[in-house]
Amino acid sequence: MTIPLNKINGMPAFSTYFPKPPALYKGVKSQQVHFKADKNAIDRVLPSCFEPSDDALCIASGMTISWCSNYGQFEESTLSVKCKYKNQEGYFCVIAFLNSKSSIPAGREIYGTPKVFASINVGMDERIMYTNTVIANQSIMNIRSSMEKKIEVNQLPQTDHSWRLKVIPGAEKNTIDVMQLIDGKNVQSDQKFHTIQSGKGVVEFNQMPIYDLSDFTPKEYYGAYYIDTDFTENNAEVIHDFLKS
Write out pLDDT tens, residues 141-158: 999 999 999 999 999 998
**pLDDT over 90 (residue 159):** no
**pLDDT over 90 (residue 213):** yes
Query: How many other C-beta atoms can be found within 10 angstroms of the C-beta atom of residue 89?
Result: 16
Nearest in space to 164 (alpha carbons), one of 237, 101, 73? 237
Residue 164 has a pLDDT of 98
**pLDDT over 90 (residue 160):** no
Q: What is the tens place of the pLDDT at every residue in 108-129?
A: 999 999 999 999 999 999 999 9
Residue 90 has a pLDDT of 97
Q: What is the tens place of the pLDDT at every residue in 29-56?
A: 999 999 999 999 999 999 999 999 999 9
What does pLDDT average to over the chain?
Answer: 97
Which conformational region is residue 174 in: left (phi greater than 0), alpha (psi within -120 to 50 degrees), or beta? left
Q: Indicate the pLDDT class of residue 245, thresholds 50, 70 and 90.
A: confident
Q: If residue 45 lies in a helix (H) or strand (E), which one and from where to where?
A: helix 39-45
Residue 185 has a pLDDT of 94
CA distance linking residue 17 with residue 101, whole number of Å: 10
DSSP 135-146: ETTEEEEEEEEE
DSSP character at residue 109: I
Residue 18 has a pLDDT of 94
Hey, what domains does the chain have and what are their CATH numbers? 23-162+187-234 (2.40.400.10)
Q: If residue 106 lies in a helix (H) or strand (E), which one and from where to where?
A: helix 103-106
Residue 101 has a pLDDT of 92
Using DSSP, state whether 103 is helix, strand or coil.
Answer: helix
